[in-house]
Structure formats: structure tokens, C-alpha cells
Amino acid sequence: MPVSDAQPPDQVNIHHAKTHLSRLVEDVAAGAEVLIAKGGKPMARLVPLELTRAARRPGLLKGKLRISEDFDQPLPWDVPPQA
């Protein structure tokens, strides 16, 4: 979204934030941003978390896993197939 189309965050006083925190968290989870003010002066910003996955590192398990040499060989006749 271009910066010019961005809506300013909602601002609530601290008493309202304490009283309606569950609702504010739902709004933020939906993408809203809320400023919490004390005496009309913004003091905190409630924003959604940016969940990121840890970067995968090649070779992280090197030497920790062992695959048997006959891993891809057919199973013996007396081992029942799994459904």
C-alpha cells in the first residue's frame, strides 16, 4: 500500500486501552495499529507481530542423522504393509 493511502493509527487513551484491551488486540491482529495516549500524548504503539521463521542453515544436522545403507531396499516378505 502506498504511504499516501495509509490510514493514521487509531488513538485511544490509556483508560480505554485497559478497559478494552481484548478488543484492541483483536483489531491489531486484523492489521490495525493503535496508539495509546496518556493525557492526549501518544505513549505506546500497539502493532501486529511480524512472525518470521528462523533461517534454515544447510548442514545443521550433519553427523547427527544416520540412514541405513539398506534404507531403500524392499522390505522382507514377513513385514506387513502399512495402510
Q: Give residue 53's Cα distance to chain centre.
A: 8
pLDDT of residue 4: 43
42 touches 64 (CB < 8 A): no
Beginning with the edge strand found earlier in the chain, give each strand of the sheet holding 41-46 in spatial order. Answer: 10-13, 34-38, 41-46
The residue with greater pLDDT, 49 or 24, is 24
pTM: 0.53
Instruction: Identify the band that residue 2 occupies on the pLDDT scale cut at 50, 70 and 90.
Output: very low
Q: What CATH architecture does domain 3-46 belong to?
A: 3-Layer(aba) Sandwich (3.40)
Mean pLDDT within 58-72: 89
> What are the helix (H) ranges across 6-80?
14-19, 21-29
Instruction: Identify the band that residue 60 occupies on the pLDDT scale cut at 50, 70 and 90.
Output: confident
Q: What is the C-alpha to C-alpha distance for residues 71 and 75, in angstroms, rounded to an integer?
A: 9
Mean pLDDT within 42-56: 87
Length of the chain measured in residues: 83
Lowest mean pLDDT among 3-17, 35-49, 50-64: 3-17
From 46, 8, 5, select the one nearest 28 (Cα to Cα).
Answer: 46
Residue 65 in 3-state DSSP? coil
